[in-house]
Structure 1
Amino acid sequence: MKLAIKYARSIFITAFVGALLYVLSYPPLLAARYKIPMPISIGILDLQFDLNEKHFMYVTHKFYYPLEWFIDNTPLDKPILAWAYIWNVHEEMKFDRAIRSLVIKEISKN
């Protein structure tokens, strides 16, 4: 029984630390995306510049979709924006959230 409790505790701690690292990794990756121009996509709707076609385009990526959904639809945005402020990307996160909102409204119209 004690082994099962230790095993369950280890799983819980590992899941908690993994989820925390997932949430905390978003602003540093945004900082890298905005500070170093490179074709990486880390959000659900990322504005990217297509070098071949010479225009901006939206690229979807699903890794941070759950986090962006929480940022857009729950009070989780306040602590994430505070963490983003430390990384100096809070304005970019607000801009991304506004763009996602506009794009989702436009998609839902069609």
Structure 2
Amino acid sequence: MSKRLIISLIMGALLGIVCIVGAQVRSGFSQTPTYLFAFWFNRVLMGLVIGLFSKPRTHVTMIWRGGLTGLFVSFAFYSATGFADIVGFLVGVIYGIIIEWVAHRFTTHTA
């Protein structure tokens, strides 16, 4: 596995934990473990997809690709929940950008 893929998977898993906390707080701690696992797993998948891409050549590409990938991957979970969690869906865009930025930052070699 490439360093970029490992970093992206770790970031997806960590941001998935943030999503679980946010979902629980927004719902008054009423979400089921299955829902929370699916939410977390969606973020891990986002990390996987972003990690499989090659490193972007420009910062503009990094932002657009991270955002669009976050939107696309988050839509899978959003549609599976009956379009119930718009916040979780939209935050996926931001998380996609964060994952892409961190993967780029920690795989860029400065000599």
In the superposition, the TM-score normalised over structure 1's length comes to 0.35
Which structure has more relative contact order (CA 8 Å, sep 6+)? It is: 2
The structure with the largest strand share of the pair is 1
In the superposition, the TM-score normalised over structure 2's length comes to 0.34
The structure with the largest helix share of the pair is 2
Larger Rg: 1
